[in-house]
């Protein structure tokens, strides 16, 4: 029991019952030692940047709980026990003082950079939290990899005006463009169904277009736009229609189904993704864990895509 604490190897499969045991992401061992890790899962329980309904501070915990149903059997659709090859740790959550929200962006960036700059350079999968957390994550990844091609699944563009100082989940893409940490000419947003007055040259596949285009067509547009390299993947759970993700802060009808989104991700196995996050899961507005399960599955697919590039392609 309690593989999150008792695992002797980072590749050890859990024996915990789905309904019991310590809750880490997919029962991975909790540790701050990333020296042997190929990938690190990290929670960022921050939701002080929301414009509508708060609650995403509880997202990392809910996603971890939902992930426990995927830890033992071979992971679908990758047809493998991912952790037989890939060493993954749960790093716990970002540390910050909720009373000093203006200091949080620098703390997220600092702590993310410490993980990314470890000698073994692990892949970082972050779980929010509201979507603002992507901004300091992008800064940390861009410091290591240079300007990034952003692939953003979202209902919102997040390109409203920002004077350079806002802590706001609706303006952080504006900040990222102006700071030069993403290349808008290589960036794309999928599932958009609201309108901001600026797009900064980022390509948009809105939700109606996405429904008509199909998963393979969307994936091709993503490859064509990004060039297939140096990609940061951010998945706002409100990209999904509220029927599939009711537990989020700013729901918008007409979005993707969970199946549509997962199929698009499945087509991205040849994309060089250098980092990723899943954000905006808000358990207080969820029902029967629907949204948390969607978020956990998206996160598992992100690890699976990394496994395919790093391990399966080398086999």
Task: Enter the tokens of residue 66.
Answer: 């939902």
Region 218-236: mean pLDDT is: 98
H, E, C per residue of 88-129: EEEEEECCCCCCCHHHHHHHHHHHHHHHHCCCCCCEEEEEEC
pLDDT at 1: 83
CA 191 – CA 281 distance, rounded (Å): 17
| CATH code of the domain containing 265 | 3.40.800.10
Q: Which residues pair with 127 in a beta bridge?
A: 43, 278
Decide: helix, strand or coil at residue 27: helix
* Stretch (H or E) spanning 171: none
Identify the pLDDT of residue 314: 57
Question: How far from each other are the two terminal CA atoms of the chain, in whole angstroms?
Answer: 32
**Tokens linked to 153:** 């699944």
Polymer length of the chain: 315
Instruction: Answer yes or no: is pLDDT of 282 > 60.
Output: yes
- Cβ neighbors of 30 (< 8 A, separation 6 or more) are 4, 5, 22, 24, 89, 90, 91, 92
Q: What is the pLDDT of residues 128-157, one digit of tens each?
A: 999 999 999 999 999 999 999 999 999 999
Average pLDDT value for residue range 56-82: 92
**CB of 206 closer than 8 Å to CB of 252:** no
Q: Please, which pLDDT band fits residue 69 given cuts at 50, 70 and 90?
A: confident
> What pLDDT band is residue 308 in, cutting at 50, 70 and 90?
very high
Q: Give 216's pLDDT tier (boundaries 50, 70, 90).
A: very high
For residues 302 and 28, is the Cβ–Cβ distance under 8 A? no
Using the predicted structure, report yes or no on whether residue 15 has a pLDDT greater than 90: no
> What does the pLDDT read at residue 11?
87
Q: Tell me, rounded to whole angstroms, the distance of Cα 260 from its chain centroid.
A: 17
Structural domain boundaries, residue 246: 3-312
Instruction: Quickly state the pLDDT bin for 19 (edges 50, 70, 90).
Output: confident
Task: Say what the pLDDT of residue 195 is.
Answer: 94
Question: At a CB cut-off of 8 Å and minimum separation 6, what does 21 contact?
Answer: 1, 2, 3, 4, 14, 27, 68
Q: How many domains does the chain have?
A: 1
Question: What is the predicted pLDDT for the residue at 71?
Answer: 79
pTM of the model: 0.96
Give which of 287, 294, 233, 290 is closest to 258, Cα–Cα.
294
Q: Which of 77-81, 261-265, 305-309 has the lowest mean pLDDT?
A: 77-81
Q: What percent of the chain has pLDDT over 90?
A: 85
How far is residue 3 from each of residues 91, 117, 302, measured CA to CA in Å?
Answer: 14, 27, 22
Alpha helices in 160-289 (DSSP H): 172-178, 207-213, 215-226, 258-266
Position 313 pLDDT exceeds 70: no
């Amino acid at each position: 029991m309690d593989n999150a604490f008792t695992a002797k190897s980072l590749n050890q499969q859990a024996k915990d019952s789905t309904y019991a045991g310590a809750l880490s992401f997919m029962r991975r061992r909790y540790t701050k030692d990333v020296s042997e890790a190929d990938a690190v899962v990290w929670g960022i329980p921050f939701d002080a940047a929301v414009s509508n309904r708060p609650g995403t501070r509880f997202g990392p915990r809910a996603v971890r709980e939902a992930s426990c149903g995927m830890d033992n059997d071979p992971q679908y659709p990758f047809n493998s026990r991912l952790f037989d090859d890939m060493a993954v740790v749960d790093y716990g959550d970002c540390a910050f003082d909720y009373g000093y929200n203006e200091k949080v962006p620098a703390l997220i960036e600092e702590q993310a950079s410490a993980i990314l700059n470890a000698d073994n350079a692990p892949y970082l999968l972050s779980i929010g939290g509201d979507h603002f957390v992507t901004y300091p994550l992008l800064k940390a990844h861009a410091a290591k990899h240079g300007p990034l091609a952003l692939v953003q699944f979202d209902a919102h563009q997040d390109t409203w005006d920002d004077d350079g100082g806002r802590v706001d989940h609706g303006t952080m893409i504006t900040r990222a463009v102006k700071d030069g940490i993403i290349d808008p000419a290589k960036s794309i947003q999928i599932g958009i169904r609201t309108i901001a007055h600026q797009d900064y040259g980022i390509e948009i596949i809105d939700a109606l277009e996405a429904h008509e285009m199909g998963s393979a067509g969307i994936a091709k547009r993503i490859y064509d736009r990004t060039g297939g390299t140096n990609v940061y993947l951010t998945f706002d759970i409100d990209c999904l229609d509220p029927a599939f993700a009711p537990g989020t802060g700013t729901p918008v009808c007409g979005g993707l189904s969970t199946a549509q989104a997962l199929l698009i991700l499945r087509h991205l196995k040849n994309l060089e993704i250098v980092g990723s996050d899943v954000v905006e899961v808000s358990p207080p507005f969820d029902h029967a864990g629907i949204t948390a399960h969607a978020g956990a599955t998206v996160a598992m697919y992100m690890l699976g895509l990394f496994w395919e590039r790093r391990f399966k392609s080398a086999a």
